């Protein structure tokens, strides 16, 4: 008797569980919209930068007008991917070179934290595919620019 | 004389346009059989192409994805792109294979599939050969595919392929039995093996269909549908190809066009099993008119009705694939031998008793007046 009950129990179980599963997939088939983002060419008029979160760490960007040329970022970088040359001419300090090798950079953010004038920041750019790895070494200074003067330290209260 | 198959009609037509004398008779006869065969071949290729598209779209919908949408409108031309890709692929024949068998196997699988198509009634007069043993013919040629599977598995000289081939033999041969037994319930009612006659002895309305003839044919329909899933290697019974266990089973060594033949046969099989289920249990393209005598407009309506039944069944096949996980192989065999064969046999016996007791009438026979 037990085996008979088990036998038909198996059949009803099979039918019931199959029905349950099929109902779930039907729901997903008919109702649930797709969540695919058709990157890169059909993203609804957005830019690729808009797809990432607020705190995304993309390529580093440098605002040379703010940079004081203190070289803190270059020193703090654990893998030496920043190279800055600062030269003094006519009583002014000039940024002659500011290269960041994005191929080496591990986006640790130490340079961003360290910069006293918030000149070096993460951008949201991440589409950096290129044919030669050397292209990933980005120069942020093409012709010498005068370094900014450091802001006066606010007097402690 | 009443024309009772498509080649005869084509023969008459050819005779009509060519005049009596010009072309030797045997050419006309050959042509009248070749034309529908070629048409059906092309058509089934098209259908299996569309089914690959449907499979990808449905699976994408179920998994919250989009699926092919780049080639052509809604990605409808994806199958052309796939076909071109497969043709352009290098056709590799590994060194260790048995070359003759390796080359032969895809054609056996493909022709086994295509032979089954010849007796599928597409509604109206559109059936290539209305054999008087049509149903048996389908069962027989569909097991011919096993030979191809085993052959490709053996010839590939690859353990996965061989395992796949052996599994497919075990599976297809055991599921042949419940499939055949459940089809035979209908034969008891219709009293014929001819596909066209089976369709004609049903009616246009659901209560005329054999699935609702009595409770046992209702069960038999589901048994047939599930065991045909097993016969065509669809999930949850896709042991011969089991991607995650056997990589791709019997066709693992194949590439290029030979692989495409396996692939086409597989998708054509979905269509065939759906159309057998539709023709035998769901009334096929029957709209209550004689398929040979009515006008061309009605005949096309019959074809439409037929496809209105086949397409949902194909979609259900796909839907099942993306719902159920693969069984274990011992579960698959015990399911067949412990459940399906006794059940389908019981259905057959009970239908026979039903026919005796109720004098051949279905449950809804009063509705038919
Ligand atoms: S993010 Fe880190 S690795 Fe990259 S440049 Fe800054 S300090 Fe160096
Ligand atoms: S980017 Fe910031 S840390 Fe680096 S040199 Fe300029 S001011 Fe100094």
- Cα gap B343→B219, rounded to integer Å: 8
For residue A77, the ligand closest to its alpha carbon is 1
Has residue B12 been placed in a domain? no
Q: B48-63 pLDDT, tens per residue?
A: 888 888 888 888 888 8
The answer to whether the CB of A82 is under 6 A from ligand 2 is no
Q: Quick one: pLDDT at residue B179?
A: 87
Has residue A151 been placed in a domain? no
- A28·B320 Cβ contact <8 A: no
Mean pLDDT of B287-316: 80
- Which residues on chain A are in Cβ contact (under 8 Å) with B63? 28
The answer to whether the CB of A68 is under 6 A from ligand 2 is yes
Angle between the N-to-C axes of helices B159-190 and B256-281, in degrees from 0 to 180, rounded to the nearest 10: 20
Please tell me which of A97-101, B94-98, B164-168 the model is most confident about, judged by mean pLDDT: A97-101
User: What's the CA-to-centroid distance between A108 and ligand 1, angstroms?
Assistant: 5
* Least confident stretch, B109-118, B203-212, B275-284, B360-369: B360-369
Question: Which residues 312-341 in chain B show a CB within 8 A of chain A?
Answer: 319-320, 322-324, 338-339
Judged by a CB distance cut-off of 8 A, whether residue B80 touches chain A is: no
The answer to whether the CB of A64 is under 6 A from ligand 2 is no
How many domains does chain B contain in total?
Answer: 1
For residue A140, the ligand closest to its alpha carbon is 2
Q: A126-151 pLDDT, tens per residue?
A: 888 889 988 888 888 888 888 888 77
Tell whether the model's pLDDT for residue B22 goes beyond 70: no
Q: A64-88 pLDDT, tens per residue?
A: 888 888 889 999 999 999 999 999 8
From residue A82, give the alpha-carbon distance in Å to each of A102, A133, B76, B198.
9, 16, 50, 81
Q: Quick one: pLDDT at residue B226?
A: 87
Residue found under tokens 């019931």 = A16
Kind of pairing, strands A82-89 and A137-139? unpaired
Q: What is the pTM of this model?
A: 0.78
- A25·B62 Cβ contact <8 A: yes
Has residue B76 been placed in a domain? no
Which residues are paired to A139 by β-bridges? A99
Tell whether the model's pLDDT for residue B2 goes beyond 60: no
Q: Quick one: pLDDT at residue B325?
A: 84
- Structural domain that includes position A82: 48-146
Residues A26 and A59 in one domain: no
Has residue B353 been placed in a domain? yes
Has residue B369 been placed in a domain? no
- Structural domain that includes position B108: 90-358
Q: B67-86 pLDDT, tens per residue?
A: 888 887 887 888 888 888 88
Q: Which of B55, B61, B236, B321 to mutate to test the interface with A (most CBs of A within 10 A)?
A: B61
Residues A60 and A22 in one domain: no
Residues A23 and A80 in one domain: no
Q: Quick one: pLDDT at residue A156?
A: 64
Residues A30 and A102 in one domain: no
Confidence of residue A33 (pLDDT cuts 50, 70, 90): confident
User: What's the CA-to-centroid distance between A60 and ligand 1, angstroms?
Assistant: 8
- B64·A35 Cβ contact <8 A: yes
Has residue A42 been placed in a domain? no
Whose C-alpha lies nearest to ligand 1, atom 2? A108
Judged by a CB distance cut-off of 8 A, whether residue B64 touches chain A is: yes
Has residue A156 been placed in a domain? no
Tell whether the model's pLDDT for residue B221 goes beyond 60: yes
Has residue A41 been placed in a domain? no
How many domains does chain A contain in total?
Answer: 2
Confidence of residue B367 (pLDDT cuts 50, 70, 90): low
The answer to whether the CB of A119 is under 6 A from ligand 2 is yes
Residues A96 and A129 in one domain: yes
- A25·B322 Cβ contact <8 A: yes
Has residue B255 been placed in a domain? yes
Residues A20 and A88 in one domain: no
Whose C-alpha lies nearest to ligand 1, atom 8? A77
Has residue B38 been placed in a domain? no
Tell whether the model's pLDDT for residue B165 goes beyond 80: yes
Residue among B64, B319, B338 whose CB faces A34 most closely: B64
Lining ligand 1 with CB less than 6 A are: A 60, 76-77, 79, 81-82, 100, 105-111
Burial-class residue B245 by CB neighbours within 10 Å (0-12, 13-18, 19+). middle
Residues A73 and A141 in one domain: yes
Pocket residue to mutate for ligand 2, from A60, A61, A65, A72, most atoms within 8 A of Cβ: A72
A83 contacts: CB under 8 Å, gap ≥ 6? A74, A97, A98, A99, A100, A101
User: What's the CA-to-centroid distance between A95 and ligand 1, angstroms?
Assistant: 19
Tell whether the model's pLDDT for residue B369 goes beyond 60: no
Residues A66 and A18 in one domain: no
Q: Quick one: pLDDT at residue B249?
A: 74
Has residue B312 been placed in a domain? yes
Residues A102 and A138 in one domain: yes
Residues A126 and A75 in one domain: yes
B264 contacts: CB under 8 Å, gap ≥ 6? B45, B48, B49, B110, B113
Q: Quick one: pLDDT at residue B19?
A: 64
Residues A5 and A67 in one domain: no
Q: Quick one: pLDDT at residue B1?
A: 36
Both tokens of residue B298? Answer: 């009605």
Whichever domain contains A89, its CATH number is 3.30.70.3270
- B339·A11 Cβ contact <8 A: yes
Q: Quick one: pLDDT at residue B366?
A: 57
Tell whether the model's pLDDT for residue B17 goes beyond 80: no
Name the residue among B72, B128, B117, B131 with its Cα closest to residue B272: B117
Q: How far is A51 from chain B (nearest CA, A)?
A: 18
N-term to C-term CA, chain B: 31
Has residue B82 been placed in a domain? no
Tell whether the model's pLDDT for residue B171 goes beyond 80: yes
Tell whether the model's pLDDT for residue B24 goes beyond 80: no
The answer to whether the CB of A58 is under 6 A from ligand 2 is no
More confidently predicted of B124 and B324: B324
Q: What ipTM was estimated for this complex?
A: 0.70
Long-range contacts, stretch B29-38, CB < 8 angstroms, 24+ apart? B32/B7, B32/B8, B33/B7, B33/B128, B35/B10, B36/B6, B36/B7, B36/B10, B36/B126, B36/B128, B37/B118, B37/B128
Residues A5 and A28 in one domain: yes
């Amino acid at each position: 008797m037990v085996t008979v009950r088990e036998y038909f129990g198996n059949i009803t179980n099979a039918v019931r569980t199959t029905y349950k599963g099929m109902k779930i997939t039907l729901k997903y088939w008919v109702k649930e919209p797709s969540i695919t983002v058709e990157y890169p060419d059909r993203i609804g008029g957005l830019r690729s930068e808009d797809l990432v979160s607020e705190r995304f760490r993309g390529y580093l960007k440098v605002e040379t007008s703010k940079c004081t040329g203190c070289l803190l970022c270059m020193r703090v970088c654990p893998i030496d991917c920043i190279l800055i040359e600062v030269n003094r001419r006519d009583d002014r300090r000039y940024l002659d070179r500011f290269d960041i090798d994005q191929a080496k950079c591990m986006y640790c953010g130490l340079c961003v934290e360290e910069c006293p004038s918030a000149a070096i920041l993460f951008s949201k750019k991440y589409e950096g595919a290129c044919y030669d790895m050397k292209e990933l070494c980005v120069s942020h200074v093409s012709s010498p620019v005068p370094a900014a003067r450091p802001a006066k330290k606010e007097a402690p209260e | 004389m009443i024309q009772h198959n498509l080649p005869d009609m084509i023969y008459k037509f050819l005779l009509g346009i060519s005049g009596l004398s010009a072309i030797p008779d045997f050419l006309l006869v050959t042509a009248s059989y070749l034309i529908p065969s070629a048409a059906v071949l092309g058509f089934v290729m098209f259908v299996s192409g569309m089914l690959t598209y449907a499979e990808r779209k449905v699976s994408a919908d179920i998994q919250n994805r989009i699926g092919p949408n780049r080639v052509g409108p809604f990605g409808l031309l994806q199958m052309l792109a796939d076909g071109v890709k497969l043709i352009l692929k290098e056709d590799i024949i590994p060194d260790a294979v048995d070359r003759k068998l390796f080359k032969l196997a895809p054609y056996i699988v493909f022709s086994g599939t295509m032979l089954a198509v010849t007796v599928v009634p597409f509604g109206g007069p559109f059936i290539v050969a209305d054999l008087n043993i049509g149903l048996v013919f389908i069962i027989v040629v569909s097991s011919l595919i096993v030979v191809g599977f085993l052959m490709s598995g053996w010839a590939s000289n690859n353990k996965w392929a061989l395992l796949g081939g052996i599994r497919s033999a075990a599976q297809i041969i055991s599921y042949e039995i419940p499939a055949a037994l459940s089809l035979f319930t209908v034969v008891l009612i219709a009293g014929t093996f001819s596909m066209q006659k089976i369709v004609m002895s049903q009616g246009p309305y659901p209560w005329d269909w054999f699935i609702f003839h009595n409770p046992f044919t209702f069960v038999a329909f589901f048994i047939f549908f599930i065991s045909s899933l097993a016969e065509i290697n669809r999930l949850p019974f896709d042991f011969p190809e089991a991607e995650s266990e056997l990589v791709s089973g019997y066709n693992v060594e194949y590439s290029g066009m030979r692989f495409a033949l396996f692939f086409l046969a597989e998708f054509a099989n979905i269509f065939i099993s759906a159309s057998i289920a539709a023709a035998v249990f769901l009334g096929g393209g029957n709209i209550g008119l004689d398929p040979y005598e009515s006008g061309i407009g009605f005949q096309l309506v019959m074809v439409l009705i037929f496809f209105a039944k086949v397409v949902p069944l194909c979609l259900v096949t796909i839907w099942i694939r993306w719902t159920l996980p693969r069984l274990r192989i011992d579960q698959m065999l015990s399911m067949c031998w412990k459940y399906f064969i006794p059940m389908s046999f019981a259905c057959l016996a009970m239908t026979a008793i039903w026919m005796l007791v109720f004098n051949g009438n279905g449950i809804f026979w009063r509705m038919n007046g």
